[in-house]
Amino acid sequence: MEPAVCNPRVNVQNHDGNDMLSDDEKQAVGDIKGICLKTVELATKLHREIYALEEKAEPAHNLLYDERKKVLDGLRQKHKGDPLAKNMGNFWLHVLKAAVQQCPEFARTNPIGDTEAEVLCHISDIRSKLYTEPELKFDIIFYFEPNAYIKNDYLRKVYYIKCKADPKEPQAYDGAEIYRTEGTMIHWTSPALNAKYRKTFLKFFMPPTLPYSSDDPNYKEINEILENDFRFGFYLKENVIPKAVYFFTGEIKESMGSSSSTDDENDDDDDGGNDNEDESGSAGSNSLDRSWSDDEKNNDDEEEPEDVHVYGELLDSEDWSFESGDSMDSGH
C-alpha cells in the first residue's frame, strides 16, 4: 500500500425521509450500531498493540541501522567532495532526492536541487523513532556532520497520530490519523544562509500552521501543504529509512515507476473517462501501511532538541482520515 493521504470525511448519516421502520426495527438498528462501535473499539485496541510490538522491535532494527551507518561512514569520508556527485559520500542526499521524486505533490513545495544539495550532502544518517506513551507519535531525525551551514547536530520532525473512533460516527473510522506535526528551529551559521535556504526543502522542518477557520483565504493552500507533509513524513518512516539503499540505486523508482506506467496506460485506454477518478486519486485514499521502522541509536533517554516548535496541525482531526492497512493509534 502507498502511504496515506488525508481526505475530508463526509457525513454519511443521510436519511431520505421515507424510511418506514417500525419501532422495534429502529431499536434493532440502534443495537447493531452499538455492536459496530464495539468492533471499531476492538480495531483501535489491535492497532495500539501492533504499534507496541513495533516499538519493542526498534532496538533490533537500530542494531542493523548502526551496521549500515558504520559501512557508510567510512565511505562518506573517503568520497566526500563534490556535493552533486552521486557517490556514497552523498548517500542520504540522493536517497532523499529519489524519495521526493516519488511524492510529486510534496516535491512542488519542497524541491531538492543544486542549492539544497549544498546542505543535505552533510546528512550522516536518517532515523525514525516511535513512541506509544504518553501518546502515539513518531520522530524523523536527520543527523548532520559538522558543516559550514547549520549548527544543529540533528533536525527532528515529530508527527502526532491518533487512532480513536468518534462514537457518534464510528462508520467514519478508517484507522490512523496524523493530525499534527512539530518542526525544529534550524540554527544557521549566518542570517544570509537562513534567507537563502528557508524556502527550499529545508522548510520541511518548519511546516505552516493550519488556520482555525476554513474560510481563511490561506486555509486550502496550507491544508494541502500539510497533507503532503504528513504523507511524506510517513513515507520516510515506512519506506525510505528501511529501504534507503534501493532509493540510492534507483531500484525503488523503477519498481514504482512500472506501476505508474500501468496506471497511465489504463488511463489512456479509458480515453479520458477517468477525469473524476484522477481528481479523487489526487486526494487519494491512503493508509498508514507498514514496513517496520527504525529508530535512533537506542537513545531512549535522549534530550529533546533545544527549539522544537509546533507548526502544522489539522485542528479538526475528526474531519480528516487515513485509510488503514495496519493503522497507528494514539490514545490521544
Instruction: Report if residue 249 sits inside a domain.
Output: yes
Share of the chain above pLDDT 70, in %: 70
Residue (of 9, 53, 49) closest to 331 by Cα position: 49
User: What is the CA 67 to chain-centroid distance, rounded?
Assistant: 25
All three cell numbers of 41, joined, read 473499539
pLDDT at 17: 47
In a domain, 208, yes or no: yes
**Domain containing 134: what range?**
32-262+299-321
Residue 155: its pLDDT value, please? Answer: 97
41-85: pLDDT as tens digits = 888 888 888 888 999 999 999 999 999 999 999 888 888 778 888
What tens digit of pLDDT does each residue of 248-303 get? 999 986 544 334 444 444 444 444 444 443 333 333 333 354 433 344 344 444 44
Band of pLDDT at residue 312, cut at 50, 70 and 90: low
Say if 129 falls within a structural domain: yes
List alpha helices for the chain, DSSP H. Answer: 23-78, 91-101, 104-109, 114-120, 191-197, 219-235, 244-249, 251-269, 275-283
Establish if 252 belongs to a structural domain: yes
Out of 117-126, 181-190, 209-218, least confident range? 209-218
Cβ 135 vs Cβ 331: under 8 Å? yes
Place of cell 485509510: 323
Residue 279's pLDDT is 35
Distance between the two ends of the chain, CA-based, in angstroms? 25
Within a domain: 17: no
| pLDDT computed for residue 253 by the predictor | 61
d(CA 170, CA 39): 9
- Give domain status of residue 289, yes or no: no
Lowest pLDDT segment from 72-81, 122-131, 300-309, 314-323: 314-323
Is it the case that residue 39 has pLDDT exceeding 80?
yes
pLDDT for 28: 92
The confidence band for 157, taking pLDDT boundaries of 50, 70 and 90, is very high
116, pLDDT greater than 70: yes
> How distant is the alpha carbon of residue 177 from its chain centre?
10
Higher pLDDT, 284 or 311: 311
CATH number, domain at 203? Answer: 3.30.1120.90
pLDDT at position 44 = 86
pTM of model > 0.75:
no
Do the domain assignments include residue 128? yes
In this prediction, residue 16 has a pLDDT band, given cuts at 50, 70 and 90, of low
Count of domains forming the chain: 1
Asked if the structure places residue 157 within a domain, the reply is yes
Chain centroid, CA 217 distance in Å: 25
CB hemisphere CA count around 11 (13 angstroms): 4
